[in-house]
Amino acid sequence: MTDTSGTKTGGETGGTRTVFLLAHTGRPAAIRSAELVVQGLLRAGLGVRVLAFEAADLPLPPDVETVPEATPEVLDGCELLIVLGGDGTLLRGAEFARASGVPMLGVNLGRVGFLAEAERDDLDKVVDRVVTRSYEVEERMTIDVVVRTNGDVVHRDWALNEAAVQKVSAERMLEVVLEIDGRPVTGFGCDGIVCATPTGSTAYAFSAGGPVVWPEVEALLMVPISAHALFAKPLVTSVTSVLAVEVQPGTPHGVLWCDGRRMVELPPAARVEVRRGAVPVRLARLHHASFTNRLVAKFALPVSGWRGAPH
């Protein structure tokens, strides 16, 4: 889904447009990039807001606004969230974006950065597009995750990329039964199960052997990790499906990771349910480059010799 109205409204408080900046200040490249972005936005008359503990590590002018707490409310009045960093920082930014509804514009300073819209060399273009509001806003599907024990809900979470049920003990497998739409599919011992969105198909699910799914495809993925079974293939279901992973009684306890950032231990005989999320993450897009081009560029895929369709 694309929402172009996101480029026209929001972030104006008393006539000043405000942008929130989130950066991985542990990276020297992020510190320099943040300095360049802030300078460009301030020169254009936009306000900039940052977290106080990050501001302490950044060479910022005094007219940059700082806020003390990392809560969704700190983005109130902001039209855009600019995130500078690698995949982990971008996923951290996605937490803010989802909770606040403010679109996120990612600048990749890491290795792959599928969530990023720009690279480090594009900072001037990023600033120009933000100043002129030359961007569109795209909604990315999330997943909602529920953990049950004996029918009782013991934990709720969400993810943009994936929810992964994983073993803890290195010497013993996790015994699970997979379920889709209330019906059992198969059971086996494994290192874990990844339940992913199309956005997450190029993340952990990809590493586990899952398919690459174009972001506009509405689907859910279930990808086994090192399963000991003849039938342990990645599954792609309808976006309306409900996926479930039941950890078998007597098996070593497992853990649930959401986007590799939030972890909770699973109690014995836990049941993890995954369904389409109620709240999407909004991503700011600077151009209409196809996902195919992004895939080729990010993975440096060999395409030499391609001649294209005849005209």
The annotation places the binding site for NAD(+) at 87-88, 92, 161-162, 172, 191, 202-207
Buried b (16+ CB within 10 A) or exposed e, 235-261: bbbeeebbbbbbbeeebeebbbbbbee
Reported in sequence order, the residue ranges of 150-234 that DSSP labels E, i.e. its strands, are 152-159, 162-167, 174-180, 183-190, 192-196, 219-225
User: How far is residue 64's CA from residue 108's CA, in Å, rounded to a whole number?
Assistant: 23
Place of tokens 């959401």: 258
CA 149 to chain centre: 28
Q: Which residues are annotated as a binding site?
A: 87-88, 92, 161-162, 172, 191, 202-207
How far apart CA 225 and CA 190 sit, in angstroms, is 6
Rounded to an integer, what distance in angstroms lies between the CA atom of residue 252 and that of residue 106?
Answer: 39
Element holding 55 (H helix, E strand) = helix 52-55
Q: Give me the sign of the Cα torsion angle 60, 61, 65, 68.
A: positive
Give the Cα separation of 279 and 241 in Å (integer).
17
The yes-or-no answer on residue 181 being catalytic is no
The Cα–Cα gap between 37 and 128 comes to 10
**Catalytic residue, candidates 57, 87, 157, 181:** 87
Compute the CA torsion angle 163, 167, 168, 173 (nearest 10 deg). Answer: 180
Active site residues: 87
